[in-house]
Amino acid sequence: MITSWFVPGRIEVLGKHTDYAGGRSLLAAADVGITFHARALSEPIVRITSRAVDDTVTLPLAIDQDVPRGHWAGYPAAVVSRLVANFPDAVSGAHITVDATLPLASGMSSSSAMIVGLARSLFDLSGIEDHPAFTSHIRTPEDLAMYLACVENGMSFGELAGHRGVGTFGGSEDHTAMLCAEADALVQYRFCPTLREAIIPFPADYSFVVAVSGVLAEKTGSAMELYNRAALSTSEIVRRWNRATGRKDVWLADAVRAGGDAHDQLRSLTSPDAYLRGRLEQFISESEDFVPRASAALAAGRISEFGRIIDTSQRWSEEGLGNQVPETVHLQRSARSLGAAAASAFGAGFGGSVWALVKTRDAEAFAAQWLADYQRSFPVPGQRATTLITRPGGRAHRIS
């Protein structure tokens, strides 16, 4: 048996580090991504050949995997071990070849695309979607996105017990964009649980230009520690909130939406810690204000207002979330100065990419000018920098 899948990269228009705390995001799928060609093997192994990194790894059909920390094979290992744990004796051997048009470690979530594509390939080859444990837990694309996020972060999903994941405490934003996106539109979601709130038509005469900074947005090593700091800080705020109020909230969004003087209480509880206070303000602004206002502005064709909201989100990302580097800050400012209607860094941060909203007819010239400006200012990462042009694409799908 053979199967093939295309999984797009995602563009986080808004929603910086909000999803894992129950917040909102505004998302699109790109028209570049990762392609997976899989065939069944009679051996109890999964062999993955990645043409993007010119490497092959072979993993046993086992819960425990021996993969060096920080190696790209950690993502396939997380998938194989979790599926074996959740669907015992159901996972078939496979050889999966991976090709990418999506820049790796660019902030467009090639890591989550790897999780989604490998899982979908193994589902097909193994018939897992007919397994009782699957059908009793996963009924919608949003359910599947949440489950695959749990494969990545190691958390349990209902009775499908968790495993170690890849070591990052992320949410399901990336997986949701890849599995639930709409062509020529943005989708607005809130998370924990995952609920679609709106579909916003994308302006017909605009495109995204994405600048990949050349500063790798890897969730490994010291970058993993910085990423997890941003994630775990929301849990610390909730812990303080529950201790002070006697509530039993799980997600920061639940505390923020508690009503009354909840915002003032939360600010008081975080005021002794400058990072926690900034993180709280960034979350409230991004999730409760910027995302819905930006969606409304774009839906109404108020492009200038949309751009101003995005600028404010970018500043909160720099000052409250603290996940930007000089290169991505420069790219955002440069895009606006060169005439982009809106621009923002996106993804986990600490490197990665910046998107710019520009007229489609000007996209190629803008991309060249933007890249040249960046290379003059940052010549070393500029040598690795690239640009791509995309409109919102469709969700992951089988291909012939």
Same domain? 233 vs 254: yes
**Domains in the chain, number:** 2
In a domain, 397, yes or no: no
How confident is the model over 89-124, as pLDDT tens digits? Answer: 999 999 999 999 888 767 788 999 999 999 999 999
The encoded tokens of residue 64 equal 């425990």
d(CA 362, CA 98): 33
Are residues 191 and 223 located together in one domain of the fold? no
Report if residue 395 sits inside a domain.
Answer: no
Question: For 357, phi and psi rounded to 5 degrees?
Answer: -95, 115
Q: 9-23, 208-222, 289-303, 370-384: lowest mean pLDDT where?
A: 208-222
Last residue of a domain, one of 201, 231, 254: 201
CATH code: domain of residue 125: 3.30.230.10
Residue 377 lies in a domain: yes
Is the pLDDT confidence value at 216 over 80? no
- Separation in Å, CA 214 to CA 107, 126, 302, 328, 375: 10, 38, 32, 10, 10
CATH number for 329:
3.30.70.890
| Domain housing 345 | 206-390
Per-residue pLDDT of 54-102, as tens digits, reads: 899 999 999 999 888 778 889 999 999 999 999 999 999 999 999 998 8
What distance in Å separates the CA atoms of residue 80 and residue 65, rounded to the nearest whole number? 9
The more confident residue out of 70 and 29 is: 29
User: Rounded to whole angstroms, how far apart are CA atoms 58 and 299?
Assistant: 47
Q: Which residue has the tokens 């799908």?
A: 397
| Dist. CA 12–CA 87, nearest whole Å | 32
Say what the pLDDT of residue 348 is.
Answer: 81
- Rounded mean pLDDT, 235-258: 97
Q: Which of 151, 186, 201 is the last residue of a domain?
A: 201
Residues 41, 190, single domain; the answer is yes
**Residue 222, pLDDT score:** 52
Question: How far is it, in rounded angstroms, from Cα 254 to Cα 377?
Answer: 43
Evaluate the CA torsion angle 73, 76, 78, 80 in order and state its sign: negative
Contact 62, 84 (CB under 8 A): yes
Residue 276 lies in a domain: yes
What is the spatial distance between Cα 107 and Cα 69, in angstroms, rounded to a whole number? 20
pLDDT band at 217 (very low <50, low <70, confident <90, very high): low
DSSP 273-318: SHHHHHHHHHHIIIIIIIHHHHHHHHHTT-HHHHHHHHHHHHHHII
Residues 192 and 219 in one domain: no
Q: Which percentage of the chain shows pLDDT scores above 90?
A: 86
Per-position b or e across 95-126, b if 16+ CB within 10 A of its CB: bbbbebebbbbbbbbbbbbbbbbbbbbbbbbb
CA dist., res. 390 & res. 269, Å (int):
43
In a domain, 71, yes or no: yes
Would strands 206-212 and 386-390 be described as parallel, antiparallel, or unpaired? antiparallel
Identify the pLDDT of residue 163: 87
- Examine the domain organization and report whether 183 and 254 are in the same domain: no
> Which DSSP helix (H) or strand (E) runs through 75?
helix 74-86
Confidence category of residue 223, pLDDT binned at 50, 70, 90: low
Q: Which of residues 140, 170, 201 is at a domain's end? A: 201
Distance CA 398, CA 1 (A): 14
Give SS3 for 341. Answer: coil
Q: Whole-angstrom distance between the N-terminal and C-terminal Cα of the chain?
A: 13
Q: What is the pLDDT of residues 172-198, one digit of tens each?
A: 999 999 999 999 999 999 999 999 999
Calpha distance 174→134 (Å, rounded): 21
pLDDT reading at 169 higher than 80: no
- For every residue of 339-370, which 3-state class applies, written as one string? CCCEEEEECCCCCCEEEEEEEHHHHHHHHHHH
DSSP-derived 3-state class of residue 199: strand
